[in-house]
Amino acid sequence: MRLLIIILFIINVNPSFSQDSTRVGSFVQVDWENDAFQIRRRSVTDRYYSNGIRVAHLSNFWQKWPSRHALLKLHSTRNDTYNSLYSFVIGQEIYTPRNTKIARRPLYPNDRPYAGYLYASWGLTTTDPAGARRLTSALTLGMIGPVSGAADVQEWLHGALGQHVPVGWGAQMKNDPIISYSVRYEGRAIPKFSSAFDVIGDVEGTIGSLMNLAGMGGTVRVGLFNDYFQNPTSMYNAGGTSARKFQCYAFTRVGFRAVLDNALLQGGWLNGAKNFYALPAVELQHFYGQIDVGGVIASKNAQLTFTQHLRSAEFVNALVDQWGHISLLVRVGQ
């Protein structure tokens, strides 16, 4: 909580609705993450973070919802024009242990427990083109446990593909409600000296019953791209500081997180203690790092991103976790 208060004080945000925003369009975004989308080790499947799917509608239509009162935007002290974009997201995440071929594994040595997470999230991203900064906040409500449908999705998909069906979902995390709030602030880390090279720094914080964490990182972009801070999507818009219709670039992000707790490993606040496979706090690695490497290709109205994620161990005796991420962003309105 203290971290979020400090971040909000430093960046001078205003949670109320203001007039310093312009219309940036309407978009649909689909994200699919899976540990089978790997380049380095293609044989690794269904270990730790197994699958994630998100569908988002990005439009200022969601500005009409009461959830806007909980979201934060950058506050201007000058006559600058800021660009704001609201969003609504529905998603599901699936987590499995290293060994999915036994229904009742030994308690020790510990492994990641089976867990499913189903959620809906309301978000807001505001960019300041002149100041080269971006603020994103999101309020998320969801459920972990059997009600998430993770077991049904994975068992059906593996059966349809003729793959091994994980047999341990009967020991997954119990049903538990989730409420979470996250804030992410990004800014240009060094002055931009080339249109083909950019360095962006970020800090983040999350509080709630899903997890409590603080993090920081940096991203390097190389190639043909629009100014990251010209609008919330970085896609083409005629009035932007750089109006490139075609983009093609590579990026690398290095980040670090300090994690206090994680319901996907320890169970929820209400029923977490009822699962013997939930990890105790002493089993968590409270500090870990992550490297993301990927590429983007975009036209005027669509953007495709592919990312490889590599994360260090999240708990004692865990292996490095790796998964791929495909994201498609399509403009559907002005």
- Give tens-digit pLDDT for 293-325: 999 999 999 999 999 999 999 999 999 999 999
Q: For residues 110-126, give the mean pLDDT.
A: 94
Grouping H, G, I as helix, E, B as strand and the rest as coil, residue 120 is strand
Strands 21-22 and 82-96: parallel
| Domain coordinates in residue numbering, the chain | 2-17+24-333
DSSP letter for 159, please: H
Whether residue 2 is predicted with pLDDT greater than 60 in this model: the reply is no
Q: How many CB atoms lie within 10 A of CB 261?
A: 16
d(CA 209, CA 199): 33
DSSP element (H, E) containing 249: strand 247-262
What's the mean pLDDT in 260-273? 93
Ranges of beta strands (E only) in 35-163 are: 48-58, 73-74, 82-96, 115-128, 133-144
CATH superfamily for domain 2-17+24-333 = Outer membrane protein (2.40.128.140)
End-to-end CA distance of the chain: 37
pTM: 0.90
- Encode pLDDT of 14-35 as tens digits: 443 343 445 578 999 999 999 8
Q: What is the DSSP letter of 166?
A: P
For residues 306 and 295, what is the distance between their CA atoms, to the nearest angstrom? 6
